[in-house]
Chains A and B, each alone.
Chain A
């Protein structure tokens, strides 16, 4: 089976204000296969978001390698990582992070702008339709409910047809009923487009919906040693 994500011996530390540094990640191995949906459970402050940032190329690892679709991110320049992220990674945030100046449709189009250089309006509309918001395409984030905002964020993450979707506790800020539909939507969208999904969460109930669940405290040596 093709590996979409392969992490090998990745370490990450952050400098401390008082001097020295603190290591937050030491992951010998983590693999997500093509189209696979994985829930990664971890406690708050356990390095979940840092791991997603490393996979997205927003942070660079201190050591080891991170490959997405065969591309080793740790060998890429910052510009190379930006380009890679625009084409290969979709990101759904806990707080949606829609841009308030733009409409729902424009937010989705932004998901394509930085990779392809231009936005495919038809695909943006299709995605909004798929998340049930075709009637709200000209609404700004402030005019949408939190559940609707997260749906727009999912459509935006899917816009550039990424190989890997990273979801950072996407239901943490929404009510349980909306959370169910958001989770269904993410899972279904990834299945439809054969996108690998790595979702971090601290909620066991959410993790139980996934066919595969990994525990960060088991794969991260920094946590497991303590």
Chain B
């Protein structure tokens, strides 16, 4: 019999005490693994989703973190709105001219290209308009460019695809300006699909509903990004909803074009819709909440960010940097605090090992003396005690790890739904590799006192009858 077998026999002989001690240690280890895993999931969810291809988020002056949270993660409240002319600063002269002509803007806007257009080149600036809800989910007013240009996935190469349907169009004869696309989680939780119509509520999930509804023409495949929990509507339709037009001063009122004479509440249900069924908002009436911007070359991004931030109206935030700051300032310290608490749990469990073994020493002094009488050295009986402590540590660590990962696997569906992060039983974080050595070290320390007691056991007096 080797010493580990002898230690195992002792472990089994004091089964209740051994199991309870091991269980307390495994709970401590399980908590540590859960904290590390939850942090890993949060960290991955934030950093992975901090960009779906764009470099910068542009919005009104204020907190860059808030801008990132509301425009990238659809969390928090929008800061304010930017005038549409700020969006035009990212467009070429030709594009500006086209939009000014189409939406009745100040003619002077056509005289030059956008201030930041040279940075954009082949990149893009995609406008977002936030503020409405579909149930608990954010409604995002944007353009079809959102689905054409943005990419997701680990290497940002995957296009947005649809489990059913297609991306919305800026105008369709069937649904006019009121087409929508919903993320996978929205479709699942709101139980909606192609052809369903929804009426966004204004300002918050329980706010009043708009009169105009959007028809769902596409359901996105799951992406593991915040876009899974958003409802995307055509920006032009978003502008047409009541309360979404910026009130104009008299001097800003544009000349009414032919289109402006169109019927605002045209009934298009029984006939083919036409673009001039609605009076689209003029440029002066339009606002955007933020812009997702990708520069032609990534090296232009810092220069453009500085140029925007030096202006008086807008700010540009790098989402990845903001999320890293968030992780460093809030989530990281929170993780550390949780880790300290759970490590204390492990230390308490290790003290439990010490107490359990030390308390058993009185019962086993005779056993130790007998083993010494059979020829065991002092170091041999000491090692048996240490192995016994290590057995508790290793079993406790393995059981704790298994319990924690079983819990993670059991909730993997929910975690994926909530965060988009796929986790399984064998999904581990880098720091987990330190758990076993740490627990073994704690067990060794816990074993020192009883091992010393075993070392000093007096054979003669303990064998005497």
User: How many residues of chain B get a CB closer than 8 Å to chain A's CBs?
Assistant: 25
Known: A101-B9, A106-B1. A93 touches B463 (CB 8 A): yes
Nearest CB in chain B: distance from A198 CB, A: 15
Q: Are A58 and B375 in contact (CB under 8 A)?
A: no
Interfacial residues of chain B within 344-378, with CB under 8 A of chain A in the complex:
366-367, 369-378
Binary contact track B35-48/A, C-beta < 8 Å → 1, others 0:
00000000000000
Cβ contacts under 8 Å, A97 to chain B:
366, 369-370, 373, 463
A78, CB-defined interface residue at 8 Å:
yes
Q: Which residues of B contact A110 (CB under 8 A)?
A: 1, 6, 371, 374
**Chain B residue at minimum C-beta to C-beta distance from A83:** B375
Q: Is the interface of B mostly helix, strand, loop or mixed?
A: helix
Known contacts A97-B366, A101-B10, A110-B1: does B373 contact A91 (CB below 8 Å)?
yes
Interface set, chain A 80-124, CB cutoff 8 A to B:
82-83, 85-87, 89, 91, 93-95, 97, 99-102, 106, 109-111, 113-115, 118-119
What CA separation (Å) do A164 and B160 show in the bound complex?
Answer: 86
What chain A residues lie within 8 Å of B70 (beta carbons)?
Answer: none
Give, as a whole number of angstroms, the nearest-CB distance from A3 to chain B: 22
Residue of B nearest to A100 (CB): B13
Verify A85–B370 contact, CB threshold 8 A: no
A residues near B372, Cβ cutoff 8 Å? 58, 82
User: When each residue 150-163 of chain B gets 1 if its CB lies under 8 Å from chain A and 0 otherwise, what string results?
Assistant: 00000000000000
Task: Given A82-B377, A114-B376, decide whether A99 and B459 contact each other with a Cβ distance below 8 A.
Answer: no
Report B371-401 residues with CB < 8 Å from chain A CB. 371-378, 380
B376 contacts A101, C-beta separation under 8 Å: no
Verify B374–A114 contact, CB threshold 8 A: yes
Q: Cβ of B1 and Cβ of A119 under 8 Å apart?
A: yes
Q: Mark A125-162, 1 if CB is under 8 A from B, else 0.
A: 00000000000000000000000000000001000100
Interface check A59, CB cutoff 8 A: yes
Q: For residue A106, which residues in chain B have a CB less than 8 angstroms away from its CB?
A: 1, 9
- In the complex, whether A215 has a CB less than 8 A from a CB of chain B is no
A199 within 8 A of B: no
- Chain A hits for B145, CB < 8 A: none
A93 CB to nearest B CB, Å: 7
Contact A58 B465 (CB under 8 A): no
Give the docked Cα–Cα distance between A50 and B460 (Å).
8
Given contacts A49-B465, A114-B371, 8 further A-B contacts (CB under 8 A): A49-B463, A53-B460, A56-B373, A82-B378, A95-B465, A101-B9, A113-B2, A156-B374
- Which residues of B approach A to under 8 Å, CB–CB? 1-2, 6, 9-10, 12-13, 366-367, 369-378, 380, 459-460, 463-465
Query: 26 A–B contact pairs at CB < 8 A?
Result: A50-B460, A53-B459, A53-B460, A58-B372, A58-B459, A82-B372, A82-B377, A85-B373, A85-B374, A85-B375, A91-B374, A93-B370, A93-B373, A94-B465, A97-B366, A97-B463, A101-B12, A101-B367, A106-B9, A110-B6, A110-B374, A113-B374, A114-B376, A114-B377, A119-B1, A156-B374
